[in-house]
């Protein structure tokens, strides 16, 4: 049997193993940041005695950074190199994490939004740089396998973020419920708030140190420079050209709604599960922690389903599989809305099985055929992550109504927004099949 070389060790005499390991670590780092943040909507709402809508501003600041920095990141990489893009991304990530300390000292909510925004400006640079950087680390024929391997570490970071949020933040915060906190006098409330904020910022300061260490290691390591040989921007003609391509233009539109659905389903599973478990007699804190366990289960299912769906792509057209998954997700969300018991929560967890392949499938379909314009096209798709910033506050405003009509729980009714999002994704899957034909 012919011995096969590991597909990323060497190419043209260069050894890429260490660079690959270092850049792959960045995939886990931004996965951690994404999924330690989702449960913070509920935590900030409790700490500052805010509405769910106000707490959802965390998502607005977090994913707003992705939107604003995507094209500047692509331009920076074109001017310099992937390595410099990764290093700048890590620097902004660390600065944002360290800003949690002065935010805590201020004792107010909005400095935390600034910290989140700076941190995700760094994440936008990382995502825009790291994906194409991995593709260049070896022979072109094995580039997809390299990227898939690197991406598999992203959900590992996500699971770590969820675990830390549950065990090192939610479990250690004061167990007083939101309603009990509202009854405290100003002095007692201030003491409680500072105590909870000290708990909340600990993991962020720790990850800031880790990110800074990774930045230093990458900075002193011999890394492939791998940047664009053509430094000319030609930004406006490029944007005009790629927007004129229907499957790209509609792909950005579909990606906006998909990311919105994903963030809504993962963020508000805490509110959804908390209501169900409190009806059963649990305290608010116990209900939140148990709901976070279901959130972790959803992420495990998401990871497992990605491998299954990747295998199915050998037999099913990507657009067709995208449409099938979106239709199933929509049906499950109907269960989330109308099943006001544990089965509704099971349906919400199961939605993650359908979401697992949506982002990379839309991403790949939209960039197909863009050639040299693919890097700026990728920036447009990263900008579509804005859906995770715009749609969750809308859902939160519905949840704040508490009931719809006489008695229908608003938290259940709010999932009409993810349902609409999956309808859009199913439509794109159908459109892609028509483009192909």
Write down the pLDDT at residue 197. 94
> Do 212 and 238 sit in the same domain of this protein?
no
Report d(CA 85, CA 130) in Å as an integer. 8
Give the distance between the most distant pair of CA atoms in the chain: 76
Instruction: Please state the φ and ψ torsions of residue 32, each to the nearest 5 degrees.
Output: -60, -50
Write down the pLDDT at residue 437. 46
Strand partners, 408: 404
Write down the pLDDT at residue 16. 74
Write down the pLDDT at residue 436. 56
Write down the pLDDT at residue 388. 83
β-bridge pairing 408-409 and 403-404:
antiparallel
- Examine residue 12 and state whether it is found in any structural domain, yes or no: yes
Report d(CA 425, CA 420) in Å as an integer. 9
Any residues with CB less than 8 A from the CB of 226 and at least 6 apart, and which?
Answer: 81, 82, 83, 133, 136, 137
> Do 251 and 218 sit in the same domain of this protein?
no
> Do 181 and 205 sit in the same domain of this protein?
yes
> Do 215 and 268 sit in the same domain of this protein?
no
Residue 47 burial (10 A CB sphere; 0-12, 13-18, 19+): buried
> Do 319 and 203 sit in the same domain of this protein?
no
Write down the pLDDT at residue 421. 96
> Do 214 and 343 sit in the same domain of this protein?
no
From 199, 223, 247, give the residue that closes a domain: 223
Per-residue tokens: 55? 């707490």
List the chain pLDDT tens, one digit each, 437 residues. 344 444 444 555 556 788 888 998 999 998 899 888 878 878 888 899 888 788 878 878 888 888 888 888 888 887 888 889 899 999 999 999 999 999 999 989 999 999 999 999 999 899 888 877 877 777 766 655 676 677 778 888 988 998 898 889 988 988 888 888 888 898 999 999 999 999 999 999 999 999 999 999 999 988 876 555 555 556 677 777 878 788 888 999 999 999 999 989 988 898 899 989 988 888 888 888 898 889 889 988 988 887 788 788 778 888 898 999 999 999 999 999 999 889 999 999 999 999 988 887 887 788 777 766 766 787 888 888 888 888 988 998 998 888 887 789 899 999 999 999 999 999 999 988 766 54
Write down the pLDDT at residue 319. 86
- Examine residue 156 and state whether it is found in any structural domain, yes or no: yes
- Examine residue 228 and state whether it is found in any structural domain, yes or no: no
From 223, 248, 283, give the residue that closes a domain: 223
Report d(CA 121, CA 85) in Å as an integer. 12
> Do 159 and 185 sit in the same domain of this protein?
yes
Say how many Å lie between the first and final Cα of the chain, rounded.
41
Domain with residue 219: its CATH number is: 1.20.1250.20
Strand partners, 14: 11
State the total domains in the chain: 2
Write down the pLDDT at residue 1. 39
Name the one residue in this structure whose structure tokens are 């976070």. Answer: 292
Q: Which domain holds residue 313?
A: 233-436
> Do 150 and 214 sit in the same domain of this protein?
yes
- Examine residue 202 and state whether it is found in any structural domain, yes or no: yes
- Examine residue 95 and state whether it is found in any structural domain, yes or no: yes
Q: What is the SS3 string spanning the chain?
A: CCCCCCCCCEECCEECHHHHHHHHHHHHHHHHHHHHHCCHHHHHHHHCCCCHHHHCHHHHHHHHHHHHHHHHHHHHHHHCCHHHHHHHHHHHHHHHHHCHHHHHHHCCCHHHHHHHHHHHHHHHHHHHHHHHHHHCCCCHHHHHHHHHHHHCHHHHHHHHHHHHHHHHHHCCCCCCCHHHHHCCCHHHHHHHHHHHHHHHHHHHHHHHHHHHHHHHHHHHCCCCCCCCCCCCCCHHHHHHHHHCCHHHHHHHHHHHHHHHHHHHHHHCHHHHHHHHHHHCCCCHHHHHHHHHHHHHHHHHHHHHHHHHHHHHCCCCCHHHHHHHHHHHHHHHHHHHHHCCCHHHHHHHHHHHHHHCCHHHHHHHHHHCCCHHHHHHHHHHHHHHHHHHHHHHHHHHHHHCCCEECCCEEHHHHCCHHHHHHHHHHHHHHHHHHHHHC
Write down the pLDDT at residue 118. 94
> Do 181 and 249 sit in the same domain of this protein?
no
> Do 355 and 410 sit in the same domain of this protein?
yes
Write down the pLDDT at residue 260. 92
Q: How far is CA 177 from CA 182, 274, 278, in A?
A: 9, 11, 11
Report d(CA 244, CA 241) in Å as an integer. 5
> Do 213 and 256 sit in the same domain of this protein?
no
149: left (phi over 0), alpha (psi -120 to 50) or beta: alpha
Write down the pLDDT at residue 332. 96
From 223, 257, 283, give the residue that closes a domain: 223
> Do 270 and 376 sit in the same domain of this protein?
yes
- Examine residue 428 and state whether it is found in any structural domain, yes or no: yes
């Amino acid at each position: 049997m012919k011995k096969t070389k590991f597909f990323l060790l060497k190419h043209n005499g260069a050894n890429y193993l260490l660079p690959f390991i270092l850049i792959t670590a960045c995939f886990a780092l931004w996965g951690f940041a994404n999924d330690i943040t989702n449960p913070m909507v509920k935590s900030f709402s409790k700490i500052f005695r805010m509405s769910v809508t106000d707490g959802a501003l965390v998502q607005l600041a977090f994913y707003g950074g992705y939107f604003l920095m995507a094209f500047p990141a692509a331009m920076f990489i074109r001017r310099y190199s992937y390595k410099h893009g990764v290093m700048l991304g890590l620097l902004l990530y660390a600065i944002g994490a360290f800003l949690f300390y002065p935010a805590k000292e201020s004792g107010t909510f909005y400095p935390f939004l600034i910290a989140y925004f700076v941190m995700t400006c760094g994440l936008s640079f990382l995502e825009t740089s790291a994906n194409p950087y991995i593709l260049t680390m070896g022979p072109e024929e094995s580039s997809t396998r390299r990227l898939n391997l690197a991406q598999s570490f992203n959900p590992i970071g996500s699971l770590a973020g969820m675990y830390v949020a549950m065990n090192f933040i939610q479990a250690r915060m004061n167990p007083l419920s939101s309603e009990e906190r509202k009854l405290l006098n100003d002095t007692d409330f201030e003491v409680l708030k500072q105590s909870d904020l000290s708990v909340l910022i600990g993991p962020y300061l720790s990850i800031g140190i880790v990110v800074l260490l990774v930045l230093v290691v990458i900075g002193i390591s011999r890394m492939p420079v791998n940047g664009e040989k053509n430094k000319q921007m030609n930004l406006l003609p490029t944007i005009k050209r790629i927007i004129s391509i229907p499957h790209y233009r509609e792909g950005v539109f579909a990606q906006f709604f998909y990311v919105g659905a994903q963030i809504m389903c993962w963020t508000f599973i805490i509110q959804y599960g908390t209501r169900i478990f409190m009806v059963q007699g649990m305290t608010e804190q116990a209900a939140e922690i148990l709901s976070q366990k279901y959130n972790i289960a959803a992420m495990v299912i998401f990871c497992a389903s990605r491998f299954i769906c990747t295998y199915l792509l050998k037999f099913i057209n990507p657009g067709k599989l995208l449409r099938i998954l979106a239709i199933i997700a929509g049906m499950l969300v109907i269960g989330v809305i109308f099943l006001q018991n544990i089965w509704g929560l099971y349906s919400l967890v199961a939605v993650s099985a359908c979401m697992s392949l949506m982002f990379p499938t839309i991403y790949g379909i939209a960039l197909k055929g863009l050639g040299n314009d693919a890097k700026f096209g990728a920036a447009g798709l990263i900008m579509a992550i804005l859906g995770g910033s715009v749609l969750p506050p809308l859902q939160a405003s519905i949840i704040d109504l508490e009931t719809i009509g006489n008695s229908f729980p608003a938290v259940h009714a709010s999932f009409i927004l993810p349902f609409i999002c999956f309808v859009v994704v199913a439509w794109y899957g159908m459109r892609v099949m028509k483009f192909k034909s």
